[in-house]
Amino acid sequence: MLPLGLMLELLNARKNRVLLVAQAALPESQFSAFKKLFLDEFGRNGLEGELLRLDADTHRSKDRNGQE
């Protein structure tokens, strides 16, 4: 499994590319709405946040079980 930091870097690179394409294709008002929805789904309050929580839960579980 990839380290979380690397996964987030890959995710952020793709988020930036999708937002750039959307900005080029949409009028400003539509882009603003798209960006908000997109980041709600894939940003800190969405997928990225879920990955961070899963990683933290995994580390807590390993610590309780005495694993490294």
**Are 36 and 22 contacting, i.e. CB atoms less than 8 angstroms apart?**
no
**Are 51 and 8 contacting, i.e. CB atoms less than 8 angstroms apart?**
yes
pLDDT of residue 61: 74
pLDDT at 68 > cutoff 60: no
**C-alpha distance from residue 33 to each of 12, 22, 46 (Å):** 19, 11, 16
Q: What is the pTM of this model?
A: 0.78
- What is the maximal distance between C-alpha atoms in the chain? 54
Q: Where are the domains of the chain?
A: 4-63
Percent of the chain with pLDDT over 90: 75
pLDDT at 65 > cutoff 70: no
- pLDDT, tens digit, 9 for 90 and up, residues 19-28: 999 999 999 9
